[in-house]
């Protein structure tokens, strides 16, 4: 149970976050992103997308109660984000995740076996939870269900801490949403990355049965959630800011919304080394029925999509494509042109070891020149920053440099 000190810490942080969310600049950023995501020329937005929590924020946490500590981290993260001066939007609400009921053995009814390495590292190894493709029948069929009593208790508890300061949004989206809806992420845990590659070669028909089971299960859970009125516009996702003139803006507690009104994000990181043809056959065709339920989609996280732009054109509602540090920026620019918005992701190591502001400037200038020469719509997203060597000022300096480069962006 939270003590008065914890409650007071969270309440004060919520007040500071609410003040930031009320700044006029948030509306200016909303308009910028509306234009950006609907192909209206603006200065390319620049934003920092997390990853620094473990190094920079966790040492700051002081709340003892786990519930309070989680919201302390949420609010400190938003306050910290505001110091960068980037184009990230701080919204005037805070989300409380509903207590979604899933199988105790794991979201697919089989227990993940994750081996984490000792020491100061984020690396881990996955032993596939599904030991054989013949065991697909043992997997649990997804079902959308919410523990209303527990959800209400948590909402009341949070309201007692910050009620009247910020609106509390109840996130009632299904468990098979976001990362659990792109198939790629979960199949890596179900079979392990190396085994998954063997499966495509050795047991293609069995692999297709697993993929079809996952596709149908995701669609079933999402359909149940939509019929129950559990989707809200605040659950949109595109790894950027989900504002556009095409769709309704994010809105808290707008339950009863349809997927067709929302952004969705899909990725294929586990398929990075798989050929475009196999990517299409063993993933994209199964993602398409899920993606088409949404209004707009964004595709790609950290994987190199340079050779896969062609197959992504099958996604009729595709609006954004990631161009990662592993991709060939110029080749992507030449293929994408002005057809989609590019989420350009410079290497996060630029703000880590060997930090050199001239290298940052040259790298951004080189790639943005390639995008400009091909008439691209592009924003600059620095993400997955695992370390700045405990020098947070580097994130501010990166933003300043990136904005200067963006101000000179002159597409053909």
Q: What is the pLDDT of residues 192-231, one digit of tens each?
A: 889 999 999 999 999 999 999 999 999 999 999 999 999 9
Per-residue pLDDT band at 271 (split at 50, 70, 90):
very high
pLDDT over threshold 60, residue 120: no
| 115 within a domain of the structure (yes/no) | yes
CB 48 within 8 A of CB 384: no
| 235 within a domain of the structure (yes/no) | no
Q: In the chain, how many domains are there?
A: 3
Could you give phi then psi for residue 100, rounded to 5 degrees? -80, 135
Q: Which residues is 343 bridged to in the sheet?
A: 322, 379
Tokens at residue 326, please?
């592993």
CB 299 within 8 A of CB 321: yes
224, 304: one domain? yes
Contact partners, residue 149, CB within 8 Å, separation at least 6: none
Element (H, E) at 168: strand 167-171
**Please, what is the Cα angle at 397 between 44 and 350, to 5 degrees?**
85
**Per-residue pLDDT tens for 31-59?**
999 999 999 999 999 999 988 888 999 99
11, 92: one domain? yes
CA distance 191 to 323: 27
| 294 within a domain of the structure (yes/no) | yes
| 252 within a domain of the structure (yes/no) | no
pLDDT over threshold 90, residue 124: no
Q: What is the residue range of 183's domain?
A: 104-139+176-230+262-317
105-109, 114-118, 333-337 — which is least confidently predicted? 114-118
| 278 within a domain of the structure (yes/no) | yes
Q: Which residues is 318 bridged to in the sheet?
A: 297
CA distance 36 to 379: 8
| 93 within a domain of the structure (yes/no) | yes
180, 134: one domain? yes
**This prediction's pTM:** 0.95
CA distance 106 to 142: 11
**How confident is the model at residue 119, as a pLDDT?**
59
Average confidence (pLDDT) over 180-185: 97
CB 189 within 8 A of CB 127: no
Contact partners, residue 330, CB within 8 Å, separation at least 6: 367, 370
| 396 within a domain of the structure (yes/no) | yes
Average confidence (pLDDT) over 111-128: 69
196, 113: one domain? yes
Per-residue pLDDT band at 123 (split at 50, 70, 90):
confident
220, 365: one domain? no
């Amino acid at each position: 149970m939270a003590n008065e000190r914890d409650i007071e810490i969270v309440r004060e942080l919520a007040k500071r976050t609410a003040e930031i969310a009320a700044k006029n600049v948030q509306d200016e950023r909303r308009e910028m992103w509306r234009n950006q995501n609907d192909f209206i020329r603006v200065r390319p937005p620049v934003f920092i997308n997390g990853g620094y929590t473990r190094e920079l924020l966790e040492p700051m946490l002081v709340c003892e109660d786990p519930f309070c500590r989680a919201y302390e981290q949420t609010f400190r993260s938003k306050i910290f984000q505001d110091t960068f001066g980037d184009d990230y939007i701080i919204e005037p609400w805070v989300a409380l995740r509903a207590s979604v009921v899933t199988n105790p053995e794991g979201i697919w009814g089989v227990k993940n076996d994750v081996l984490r390495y000792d020491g100061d590292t984020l690396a881990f190894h996955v032993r596939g939870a599904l030991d054989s493709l013949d065991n697909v029948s043992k997997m649990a069929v997804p079902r959308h269900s919410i523990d209303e009593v527990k959800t209400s208790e948590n909402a009341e508890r949070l309201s007692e801490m910050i009620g009247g300061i910020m609106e509390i949004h109840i996130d009632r989206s299904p468990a098979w949403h976001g990362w659990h809806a792109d198939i790629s992420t979960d199949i890596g845990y179900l079979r392990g990355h190396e085994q998954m590659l063997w499966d495509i070669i050795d047991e293609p028909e069995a692999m297709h049965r697993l993929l079809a089971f996952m596709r149908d299960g995701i669609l079933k859970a999402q359909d149940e959630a939509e019929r129950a009125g559990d989707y809200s516009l605040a659950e949109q996702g595109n790894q950027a800011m989900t504002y556009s003139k095409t769709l309704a803006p994010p809105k808290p507690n707008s339950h009863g919304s349809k997927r067709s009104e929302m952004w969705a994000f899909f990725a294929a990181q586990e398929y990075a080394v798989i050929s475009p043809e196999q990517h299409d056959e063993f993933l994209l065709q199964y993602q398409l029925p899920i993606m088409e339920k949404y209004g707009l989609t964004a595709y790609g996280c950290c994987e190199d999509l340079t050779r896969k732009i062609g197959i992504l054109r099958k996604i009729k509602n595709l609006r954004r494509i990631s161009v990662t540090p592993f991709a060939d920026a110029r080749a992507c620019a030449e293929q994408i042109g002005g057809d989609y918005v590019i989420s350009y992701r410079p290497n996060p190591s630029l703000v880590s070891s060997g930090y050199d502001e001239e290298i940052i400037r040259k790298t951004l200038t080189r790639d943005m020149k390639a995008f400009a020469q091909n008439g691209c719509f592009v924003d600059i997203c620095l993400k997955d920053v695992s370390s700045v060597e405990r020098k947070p000022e580097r994130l501010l300096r990166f933003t300043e440099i990136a904005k200067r480069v963006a101000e000179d962006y002159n597409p053909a």
